[in-house]
Amino acid sequence: MRMATLPAPSPRLSVRPFFENKSRAFWTLQAVGWGGYLVLRGASSISNGPSLDLLILVIVEAITGYCITLLLSALYGYYRGLPRVTGLLLTIFTLVAAVLMFAAIDAFTFSLLQSTNPGITLGRMLGTLYVCFTLIAGWSALYFGINFYLIVEEQIDQMQHLETQASSAQLAMLRYQLNPHFLFNTLNSISTLVLLKQTERANAMLSRLSSFLRYTLANEPTAHVTVLQEVETLKLYLEIEKMRFEERLRTVFEIDPSAERARLPSLLLQPLVENAIKYAVTPQEEGAEISVAVRLAGERVQITVSDTGPGLHETRISPSLSTGVGLANIRERLVQAYGPDQRFETRTAPAGGFSVEIEIPFQLDDLSREAA
């Protein structure tokens, strides 16, 4: 099976699965962080000579740090809801108070285990202040860093979601900008057939019109369909128009079987055929031939819609407002669907005739947007 070659998405660091449950992630990091500190400090103390007093001191430090940082997490979370300057001042004050509290408990524990005269003195406080400041400041930096990263990730997700919604809305808008002239003409033709009492032809045209409208209205406007589905819908539309133009409208389809399963935006070709009918079949007494060709060239699908009409010359571009809008609509839909990985060109032959060439990637796996 031939598969589509899609550009690989740019790698982006994402730890959202771990932080999907923020509460669980916090308790996990708390346990791992302070557990790791306990193991490392305990191993360092034992390597300098086994001492029960130093081991107890390390255990008390780890428990104290764990409890203080729990209190800090609650206070920091509360400060985030305050005005920025007030929150910043309170955060600094709380950090200093936490360091002093940690240093006082550590100094008292050390004096209790190592000194015959336990108590908190300035010298003992200064001796433990550096380690306590490093631990609390490092924990605080990690806390704010993780929270900042999560906020940025959330904003990125929101922006991507909004961009997706905007792109889908634009695609839907472009999809619904189909030229309604054929609908009015068809209804007018049905009315004429009814007045002429040609009920069978009127019923046939009405049935085909309802089938076509059911397809256009029932499916998701941003859906992708296979080339085969698009061609079948196009034939349904042309059957309606053939009842109006009869022998003046001649069609030729050249569809490569290997390209039938390729996917493209729904109703991408109908406006092109409609323009060909309006500017090639209608103005000529003998009508015109409209050709639709689809072929597979490597990993690219090449689509050509051409006619044998008078062509679209410079002198006719200005009044052809609906044609310009139709072509711009198709071009914009291709850009929305494929970005720069597409080609859209129009050609007018010197001897007459107009053609539109489209080239898109060969894709088979857009099942999530498949039309009904």
C-alpha distances (whole Å) from 356 to each of 185, 301, 349 are 24, 14, 11
Range scoring the smallest mean pLDDT among 33-37, 43-47, 86-90, 316-320:
316-320
* DSSP state letters, 122-147: HHHHHHHHHHHHHHHHHHHHHHHHHH
Q: What is the pLDDT of residues 287-340, one digit of tens each?
A: 999 999 999 999 999 999 999 988 765 444 443 434 445 688 788 888 888 889
Give ranges for CATH 3.30.565.10 in the chain. Answer: 176-369
* Rounded average pLDDT over 168-173: 52
Closest CA to 360 of 267, 297, 279: 297
Pick 176-369's CATH classification: 3.10.20.30, 3.30.565.10, 2.40.110.10, 3.50.50.100: 3.30.565.10
- Asked if 255 and 227 count as a contact pair (C-beta separation under 8 A), the reply is yes
Q: What is the pLDDT of residues 106-140, one digit of tens each?
A: 888 878 776 667 667 777 778 788 888 999 999 99
Q: What is the pLDDT of residue 24?
A: 85
**Percent of the chain whose pLDDT exceeds 90:** 24
